[in-house]
Amino acid sequence: MTDQTQPGWVNKLFSKIRQMFRPEVPPKKTSSTGVTNASVGRLSSAFFDSDPERIAVYSDVEEMDDTVDEVATALDVLADNSVNSEDGTQGAFRIVFLKGETSLVEEVLKRTRWREKAYSIARDTLLYGDTFLQYVIDTKLRIVRLMYMPPNSMARNEDSSGLLLEGTKPGEAAFEQYEPGTNRRITWWYPWQIEHLRWNRSGSRAYGRSLLSTARTAWKKWQAMEEALVINWLTRAFARLLFILDVTGKTPSEAEGYIKAFATSLTTRNIASGVKGDAALSVVKDIYIGRAMHDMGGRLYPGQTDVKVLDTANSGFLNLNPIEYYQNKVLTALRVPKAHMGLERDINAKSTLQQQDRRFLRILRRIQALLSEAIEHTVKLQLALLGIDPDSIEFLVMWPTPSWADMLDESMATKSFAEADEILLDRGLVDDEFIQTRHLRMSPVEIARIKAAPKPKLLPKGE
């Protein structure tokens, strides 16, 4: 296909690519290129208007992922259930061709290792809300790699209509990378060079939103309460001794010296003649007070030294409801039912569990849809680079069913569809090919093989 017969955007894409393979570029740099335009990107005077809130979110969610077991487990569950089958026998996804089957699609998926990277890409997208993948292209215009770019170093530039910019100057390129915490621009890219996955993005935002963005406040309170509880456990969970000493007849200064000497004698042991050492009496600090004789009605009551055990039990040590409250708020933001992480205690209501599973399944489908869109972009970009019209090939990205229970539900749905299709066929409203492509999602190759196979003899109904 010549440039004259290609769509206008394809010609524009080719012209941009040709600029990156100019003859004056040294040969050692043309064998393979990440198409990062690094030769013009080492600018130190660029102004990077970073969003402090976005960077703060990235920092907080990273700490949550590193320190909170519930968060790390929930992200693992979401990513794993999205891309892996329950029995582990299927790949992350498979391609079903509807038109124009070609080996080029499978080749680019193998080179970029999309199937192997799907899990980590899904997890990072949920964690940060943004995942930036750079398309690394060689001199044969083949996409050979998906390079992960740290989200806290990337900037996306759009116009007032939400379209990516196409310039090369600072602030005018579609995507730019800056040294984190500085205004030093490292490099820049055209729109097609970066795949930007955005989770839960609103229409007016240039970036996605982390799955944990609304849980940050609850997490900080949860963390503070747990730390306070641990400190209380360590410092107040043990019994303390109250020594009541007889200081009758002593002046206040003498009583004070007497109490100090008594406390010192309990924590001192003789090591050798004239040598003393410390001996801890308990794991916490005990209490020493003095008590003197009192004259009551002209009669003195004898003072005595006594030792009591103070009960430091506190109901706050056993009341975990506030901590569970904030834990639930964090788990609510993660959209993962507690039963999937082994944290649920009261799971007697079957209808409640089914409703939770349905919502959980919708989240998994959204993750799969986001990944499918990125995979489709990768394939279509590769076809355009090779001079092939991307619309000449139609395919579906098929993901494994998250669980066997869902497979049973799907089988029941397939049975219902089959009964409905039979009625529609009898009335002439649809044909076999419509059912095969729309309901069964069969590829043209599978349809052709079925048509070529000998037809089995069907017995009349009732026999």
Greatest Cα pair distance, the chain, in angstroms, is 123
| Same domain flag for 280 and 136 | no
From CA 156, how far away is CA 164, in angstroms rounded?
A: 8
| Same domain flag for 47 and 174 | yes
Q: Residue 342 falls within a domain, yes or no?
A: no
| Same domain flag for 264 and 115 | no
| Same domain flag for 151 and 11 | yes
Q: Residue 357 falls within a domain, yes or no?
A: yes
Q: Residue 56 falls within a domain, yes or no?
A: yes
Q: Residue 324 falls within a domain, yes or no?
A: no
pLDDT score of 128: 96
| Same domain flag for 283 and 428 | no
| Same domain flag for 199 and 258 | no
CB–CB of 323/225 below 8 Å?
A: yes
Q: What percent of the chain has pLDDT over 90?
A: 29
* Closest to 45 in 3D by CA, of 169, 180, 159, 165: 169
Three-state secondary-structure class, residue 148: strand
From CA 354, how far away is CA 351, in angstroms rounded?
A: 5
For 398-427, write each residue's pLDDT tens digit: 887 765 455 556 667 777 878 888 888 888
| Same domain flag for 130 and 207 | yes
Bridge-based pairing state of the strands 32-33 and 130-138: antiparallel
Q: Residue 231 falls within a domain, yes or no?
A: no
| Same domain flag for 410 and 388 | no
Say if residue 47's pLDDT is above 50: no
For 49-90, write each residue's pLDDT tens digit: 457 888 999 999 999 999 999 999 999 999 998 888 666 656
| Same domain flag for 411 and 372 | no
| Same domain flag for 263 and 127 | no
Q: Which of 124-133, 366-375, 448-457 comes out lowest in average pLDDT? A: 448-457
Q: Residue 190 falls within a domain, yes or no?
A: yes
Domain of 77?
A: 3-211+353-398
| Same domain flag for 139 and 280 | no
Amino acid identity, position 13: L
For 186-214, write each residue's pLDDT tens digit: 999 999 999 999 998 887 789 999 999 99
From CA 135, how far away is CA 348, in angstroms rounded?
A: 49
For 300-326, write each residue's pLDDT tens digit: 666 555 666 655 555 555 677 888 888
| Same domain flag for 35 and 67 | yes
Structural domains of the chain, count = 3
For 87-142, write each residue's pLDDT tens digit: 665 668 888 887 777 788 999 999 999 999 999 999 999 999 999 999 999 999 99
Q: Residue 328 falls within a domain, yes or no?
A: no
